[in-house]
Amino acid sequence: MPFPRRLLIEGEDLVLDLRPHPIALAVPALYTVVVTVAAGFLASWLGGPWWLWPAIWIVAMLVYPVPRLIRWLTSNFAVTSERVIHRQGWIAKRSMEIPLEAINDVRFEQGIFDRIVGAGTLLISSASEFGTNSFDDIRHPEEVQKTLYHQGEMNKKRMYQGDQVASTRPPTPGVAPSAPSATTELERLAKLRADGVLTEAEFEAQKARILGQT
């Protein structure tokens, strides 16, 4: 099930739309095989009413593999130009969002088998009450990590350019402008330089502009 684009806000672009890796269905598939073989063996060995073992098999499927399959079919891990979105569920839905500017760190974990099949667990640390969020069975987590870092930098540049545009707008008549102090502006520029958003030359140019206004 693809990510519903109607949920995107105006000006927001969908960068990644990932379904869970099929490896998430490996254990449910093995469970199904084992239960099916066991039900057939017990039916021929113990006997009983014709409907008994098929009914037990259906209940066993509803307990574990069917919910896992529905979860896999209805899960989306999406990265947009503004946020990370994880949706899950068919009738009862669960959804969480992390703004790109709130992300502090992105890591991934892969075992040997995960590296072979191209899956892994993505760990996103954000400035929220949930701290670190773990997303399992992500396809090619290293590429997703790179994409998140890239989109985060692009988002910071858009925010910085928006601040520049806002600072050049004429003041509203009758409203006194509340310009930030030179110290605040320099601290903000230093952070942008440390994050790699501004080059050293751009930092020095903006610094000279701010100091020249004081």
Give the pLDDT confidence of 127-139 residue by residue, as tens digits. 766 678 999 999 9
pLDDT for res 117 = 94
The 94-99 sheet, strands edge to edge? 14-18, 76-80, 83-88, 94-99
> How many Cα neighbours within 13 Å face the side chain of 125?
5
Provide the pLDDT for residue 177.
47
More confident residue, 121 or 185: 121
Average pLDDT, integer, range 172-189 = 60
Query: Greater confidence, 164 or 32?
Result: 32
Predicted local confidence at residue 79, as pLDDT: 94
Q: Is the pLDDT confidence value at 73 over 50?
A: yes
Residue 178 has a pLDDT of 47
Q: CA 47, CA 179: separation in Å to the nearest integer?
A: 84
pTM, to two decimals:
0.68
Residue ranges of domains in the chain, CATH in brackets: 9-150 (2.30.29), 179-214 (no CATH)
What mean pLDDT do residues 16-24 have?
A: 94
Tell me the pLDDT of the chain averaged across its residues.
83
Does position 89 have pLDDT exceeding 60, yes or no? yes
Q: What's the confidence (pLDDT) of residue 5?
A: 84
Q: Read out DSSP for 147-186?
A: HHHHHHHHHHHHHHHHHHHHHHSPPPTT----PPPHHHHH
